[in-house]
Amino acid sequence: MQCSWKYIVLLALASLAIQYTAIRTFSTKLPYLLCSVGIEPTGQAVNCSLKDLTLEGLDCGCDENLSHTPSSPTFSLPTYDANKRTHILILATTRSGSSFVGQLFNQHPEVFYLFEPLYHVQSVLLPRLAQSRNLAERRVMMGAARDLLRSLYHCHFSSLENYIRPHPVNHSTDKLFRRGASRSLCSPPVCEAPLGPDEQSLVLTDEGECVKRCGPLNVSLAADACRARHHAAIKTVRIPQISDLRVLIEDPRLNLKVVQLVRDPRGILASRIETFRDTYRLWRLWRATGRRPHNLDLGQINTVCEDILRSMSTSLARPTWLRGRYMLLRYEDMARFPLQKTRELYSFLGLVLNQRVEDWIINNTRGGSDLSSRHKFTTVRDSAANAENWRVKLSFDMVVYTQTACQPLLELLGYKTIFHPRELRNLSHSLVEDRMFLPFS
């Protein structure tokens, strides 16, 4: 009942503020989403009152309410507590090496790992906007995203099912985005594919193979597997800033720790130009012709730099709510010192590093020189390659243009700007300054 009046007010708000042309998709989907997703993990329905109905209140989870709980207790330095479930979020940007960092958790036998579950929220709520720059739309997305993350950490998978299209029947679906990227979803008991002639146990290292051999995903079994693991990790490139996560971080029941992965924006750009050929068509044109197209859209790279910069400004102020909950990781450091950085990461999280994870790193980075033993993850090639290989992929003009747009961020993260083409191509001279970004507690 509460949901129905709320839904009407929400729609009015949405149509005013969002000016979203396809409002009809909202009107058919929102009531369902808001009323089913907004159940607290404890099972009690959420009580929303009219005053909560700011746009932020579109959460329906009424996250505002949680900020009334006393702010997080002071944290001592992380110590390992075998009984305490830790929830990990890898907060990243597209093409910043997040698949690689995700593997550092995916390979751990005690971690339940999910790859980009927020893809489904985005494709239902904002199908045509990959990275919306409209504030109101971003808020709607973030409210739904937070609710879904909270449910997933508590292994409530019905919220996720609500976003999967077509809707799973009998809790079974073959439409979970990149299911094969999650080991837990490709191994027993979730997947009981028959063993091949040479196999002693089911080891699926290839995403496609998982999807092919495991059949549709039994979501109930996935939820069981989630509950059976000690910890859960989720990777996302769909949360713009750390402040978007504040209510989750402050939620004492969640024990959430965030690893923000950053990368030199010039490296992000070079990698995106290779990967998203349509979206970055004009950049490729620039590279090919040597002339900057007059209608080049700087928006994408500006957004990347702005978002990371805002997050950094937030964390540099060391707010109480981030104490012991936040770690900044430069992709370049991970690429150069994978084992050392992984140990630091696990120590921050208070988790015991597993031998399997170390083996995976050795197999998949320069630490392991046997190239033929590499797995077929698309991500692996990137990490093994020089993290600075953008320097041979971008033209000098493109680099100057980008570093001008992102100057404050480059300084803050310790990436050197260049002034001459000779500096750009001289790879024996690194553009990554040595910096320590220590978690604070």
Ligand X SMILES: *[C@@H]1O[C@H](CO)[C@@H](O)[C@H](O)[C@H]1NC(C)=O
Least separation in angstroms between residue 171's CB and ligand X is 6
Tokens at residue 387, please?
């993290």
Q: 87-91 and 111-115 as β-strands: parallel, antiparallel, unpaired?
A: unpaired
| Residue 135 CB contacts under 8 Å (≥ 6 apart), including other chains | none
Give me the least distance between CB of 107 and ligand X, in Å please: 6
With respect to ligand X, which residue has the nearer C-beta, 64 or 306? 64
Q: Is 234 helix (H, G, I), strand (E, B) or coil?
A: strand
Q: How far is the CB of 303 from ligand X (least distance, A)?
A: 33
Closest to 152 in 3D by CA, of 233, 82, 91:
233
Q: Minimal distance in Å, beta carbon 429 to ligand X? A: 4
Identity of the residue, 47 or 320, whose beta carbon is nearer to ligand X in the bound complex = 47
Q: Given strand 256-262, what is the order of strands in its sheet?
A: 111-115, 231-236, 87-91, 256-262, 326-330
Calculate Rg over the CA atoms of the chain.
Answer: 22
Quick check: 259 and 91 in contact, CB under 8 A? yes
Strands, E assignment, 145-219: 172-173, 217-218
The least distance separating ligand X from the CB of residue 161, rounded to whole angstroms, comes to 12
CB 101 within 8 Å of CB 364: no
The closest of 97, 21, 432, 387 to 259, measured between CA atoms, is: 97
> Least distance (Å) from ligand X to the CB of residue 363?
4
Nearer to ligand X, 84 or 429 (CB): 429
Residues 6+ apart with CB under 8 A from 68: none
For residue 426, the minimal CB distance to ligand X (Å) is 4
Q: Least CB distance from residue 325 to ligand X, whole Å?
A: 21
| Alpha-carbon gap, residue 72 to 52, rounded angstroms | 22
Which residues lie near ligand X (CB under 6 A)?
Answer: 40, 46-47, 65, 68, 107, 169-170, 172, 218, 220-221, 356, 359-360, 363, 373, 422, 426, 428-429
Note whether 110 and 141 are within 8 A (CB).
no
Residue found under tokens 């990436």? 415
Query: Would you give the DSSP letter of residue 230?
Result: S
- Closest CB to ligand X among 236 and 365? 365
Nearer to ligand X, 313 or 363 (CB): 363
Nearer to ligand X, 278 or 370 (CB): 370
- State which residue, 223 or 301, has the beta carbon closest to ligand X: 223
Phi then psi for residue 129, to 5 deg, are -120, 105
Nearer to ligand X, 277 or 376 (CB): 376
